[in-house]
Chains A and B, each alone.
Chain A
Amino acid sequence: MSQIMRKITLWRAISAVIFAAGLWATYLRFFAGWRAATNLSDGQPWGIWVGVATLCGVGLSAGGFAIAGAVYLLGMERYHAISRASVMIAFLGYLSVAAGYAWELGLPWNFWHPIVMWNRKSVLFEVVWCIMLYTTVLALEFSPALLEKIPHQRIRELALEWHHRILIGLVLIGVLLSSLHQSFLGGLFIIFKGKVYPLWYSNYQTTLFYLSAIPAGFAMVIIALYLCHRSLGVKLDLGILKDFSRVITPLLVIFGLFRFADLARQHAMEYLFLARSETFYFWLEMALFIVAPVVLLNLKKVRETPIGLYWASAITVMGFITHRINVSITALERATGTHYVPKWSELAVTIMLVATAVIAFRWAVLHLKIFPRVEPRTRWLAEPAEAD
C-alpha cells in the first residue's frame, strides 16, 4: 500500500512539474512573444510544434481507423474488446493536435478561416478539412461511451440504437478520411522540392507517410493497452498485443523496402554514407524505426512477453518520431542554412499536450466503459452498448 502511495505521489509530482513548465511556456508564447518562447526563425518556421505535435500526433493516432476498420469492416471480432479503446486513443490524439494549433498558429483566433475561406489547391487545406471531419467521426464513433451514461432509459436506448445504425458508415468514412489525411500530411512536403535534403525528398511522400503511420499507430495502441493493463488494472486478453505486434513487423519491412527503392529511384543512394550530420540522422531513423523493432519483435523473449512488446513498441514510436522530425526539420536545415534546436518552452508545451491526453485517457478508462467489464459496479449499464 505504501508503495502504491509513493508511486502516486511521484506521478503527481511529475505531472505538477510538467504543467507548471507548460503553463509558464504558454505564458511566454502568448505574452512575451515568439522569440521568448521558441527558437523558430524564417529559415525554420515550423519546428517541433508542427514536426512533433501535429505530424506525430496524427500519425500515432492511426491505430484508431486501422482497428475500427479491422473489427467492423473485416469482421475481426477478436479485437472488438479493444476497438473502443483504440478509437478513444485516436480521438484524444486528434483533440490534442487541434488544441496544439493554439500555440502553433501565428494568428490562432483565425483558426476557423479554412472552414469558410477555401483553397482547393492547398494540401494543407485538404489536411485541415480531413482532420476536422475525421475528429467529428471519431467523436461519433466514441459517443456510445457517453450515451450509455444517459440516465433516461428510453432516450439512451434510442440514441444507442441510432448509433448502431450509422456505425458501419462512420467506420467506412473514418477509414477513408484517415487514409487521405495520413498521406496528405506527407504531401505537404512535396512542393518543397529543392529545399529538402535528398534522403527525405520523395514525390511519393504521401505513400511513405501512410505506410509509416499504420505500424506506428499499432505500436501506440500496444503501449496504451499495456499501460491500462499494468497501471489501471484493466483485464485484457494480452494475446491481442502479440497479434498487433505481428502486423507491425511486415508493415515496417514494407515501409523500409519502399523507402530504399524510392531513394534508388531518385538517385539519392549516394547520400547514404556521406560524412554529414544528415547521414547520422538518417541511420538513426532506420535503426530505431526499422532495424530495432524488426529484430526485437523477432526475439521470442520480446514477442512472448507483454513488457517486451511494450518496449519494442516504445522504440517503434521513437523511431517514428525521428522520421517525422527528420522530414520536417532535419531535411530543411542545409538548404535554409538554419540549425534549429527547440527551446525548452517548445518542448514544455508539447509535453503538456501529451500529458493532458494521458490524463484524459486515464480518466476515461476509469470512469467510462472503455473496456468491456463484468464487474458488479458497472452492472447497471446493461449491455446494449456493444454495437453489434
Chain B
Amino acid sequence: MSKQSKALLIDITKCIGCQQCSVACKAGHKQPGDPEPTLSATAFTVIEPRGEKFVRRLCMHCEDPSCASVCPVGAIVKTAQGAVRYDGSKCIGCRYCMIACPFSVPKYEWSKLAPYVTKCDMCAERVLAGKQTLCAEACPTGATTFGDREDLLMEAHKRIVENPGTYVPRIYGEKEVGGTSVFYISDVPFEQLGFIEPPMNQPMPTLSAAALGEVPTVVTIGGSLLAGLYWFTQRRREVALAQVAEQDEKERN
C-alpha cells in the first residue's frame, strides 16, 4: 500500500441506485437489515434519490474534521491513510461531534444502554491491509471508486474537462470546509441534489481555534489587572488605616 492519503470519488452520472454499496457496507460491518433511507446508527452509507439522480451519502472524511477537533478526549482522529476514525473506548458520549459535523454524519446508538457514535470508517482495517473499501469494490458501474486522494482529484478534473457539457464544473469536496477525502462530481448542480452549501472553504476548526487563541491573552491581562486592583484596594485601605491611626494619635495628644 502506498503511504498516500486515500479517498473515494463518487460520480453521480454513473450511479444507478442499485444499493450494492449499502448492502456490502452493512454486511461488512455486521449491521442488520436492508438498506436504509437515511444515515443511521446501522447505516454508514445510504442512497438518497433526488429526482432522476441518486446521491450516495457517507462521511466526507474531511481533511481537518470538525468532529475530531471538538472531541474532548480525542476519540476521533484523521489518520494518515485518509480515514477519519472513531475510537469508542475513549468516547465519553458527549455527542458534541454529532452537532459539530457540518454534514451531520455521526449518528448515535440511541437504542442501546451503552451507546456509541457511529459513522463510516472508510473501511480502515481493509485499507490498512492494502484493499479497497467494500462499497467501491461492490459498485457495479464505477460510480464509486477508491484510490489515492491526489490521483482521484486528478481523475475528477480529467472527467470534467474531457466531457465538456456533461459535468458541472465543480468537485464537491475539493475545497469545501478545507477539503475532504470524498469527492463528488455531477451533471446536475449540487444544490439541486440537496448538498449543503458548506459555511466556509476553510477548515471549520479554525473558528474555535480563534476563540481559544485568545485564552493566554485573557489570562495574562485579566490576571495582572486583578492583581493590580487588589494591590490598589489594599494600599488604599492601608492609607485609610494609617490616617485613622494618625487621627487617633492627634486626638490623644
Q: List residues of chain A with CB under 8 Å of any chain B CB.
A: 30-31, 33-35, 40-43, 45-46, 69, 72-75, 104-108, 110-111, 113-114, 117-119, 121-126, 128, 168, 172, 175-176, 179-180, 184, 187-188, 190-195, 203, 206, 332, 336
Contacts and interface: CB of A to CB of B under 8 A. Distances in A.
B98 interface: yes
A123 B102 contact: no
Contact of A191 (B66, B115, B226): B66
B234 A187 contact: no
A128 B102 CA distance: 23
B1 interface: no
B223 A35 contact: no
A85 to B, nearest CB: 22
Contact of A194 (B74, B199, B219, B230): B199
A31 B138 CA distance: 40
Contact of B108 (A45, A125, A195): A45
A123 B70 contact: yes
A119 B73 contact: yes
Given A106-B108, A108-B92, A175-B222, 18 more contacts: A33-B111, A42-B108, A45-B98, A45-B108, A74-B233, A106-B114, A106-B115, A117-B90, A119-B72, A121-B69, A123-B208, A168-B230, A172-B227, A180-B219, A190-B207, A194-B102, A194-B200, A332-B99
B100 interface: yes
Contacts of B198: 194
Nearest to A204: B211
B9 to A, nearest CB: 24
Closest 4 CB pairs of A and B: A106-B93, A194-B199, A75-B233, A119-B74
Contact of B93 (A108, A128, A194): A108
A73 B210 CA distance: 30
Contact of A193 (B199, B218, B222, B223): B199
Q: Which of A30, A106, A206 has the most CB of B within 10 A?
A: A106
B229 interface: yes
A118 B74 CA distance: 6
B237 interface: yes
A107 B227 CA distance: 41
Interface in B200-232: 200, 204-205, 207-212, 214-215, 218-219, 222-223, 226-227, 229-230
Contact of A192 (B99, B218, B219): B99
A33 B113 CA distance: 5
B149 interface: no
A209 to B, nearest CB: 11
Contact of A110 (B91, B99, B107): B91
B112 interface: yes
Contact of B94 (A40, A105, A195): A105
A34 B111 contact: yes
Q: Which of A108, A175, A188 has the most CB of B within 10 A?
A: A188
A128 B72 CA distance: 8
A164 B196 CA distance: 58
Interface string B177-201: 0000000000000000000101110
Contacts of A332: 99
B205 A191 contact: yes
Contacts of B72: 113-114, 119, 122, 124-125, 128
Contacts of B69: 119, 121-122, 191
A18 B100 CA distance: 34
Contacts of A72: 230
Contacts of B196: 194
Interface in B64-104: 66, 69-75, 90-96, 98-100, 102, 104
A236 to B, nearest CB: 24
B236 interface: yes
B92 A46 contact: no
Contacts of B209: 121
Contacts of B99: 45-46, 192, 195, 332
Contacts of B115: 34, 106-107
Contacts of A42: 40, 98, 104, 107-108, 110
A111 B72 CA distance: 11
A34 B63 CA distance: 33
A198 B234 CA distance: 46
Interface string B106-134: 01101111111000000000000000000
Contacts of B227: 172
Given A69-B226, A73-B229, A193-B207, A122 B93 contact: no
Given A190-B207, A194-B199, A73 B92 contact: no
Contacts of B218: 179-180
Nearest to B228: A73
Nearest to A188: B96
A126 B212 contact: yes
A72 to B, nearest CB: 8
Contacts of A123: 70, 208, 211-212
A206 to B, nearest CB: 5
Q: Which of B91, B115, B198, B211 has the most CB of A within 10 A?
A: B211
Interface string B44-59: 0000000000000000
Nearest to B113: A33
Contact of B73 (A114, A192, A203): A114
A336 B212 contact: no
A329 to B, nearest CB: 11
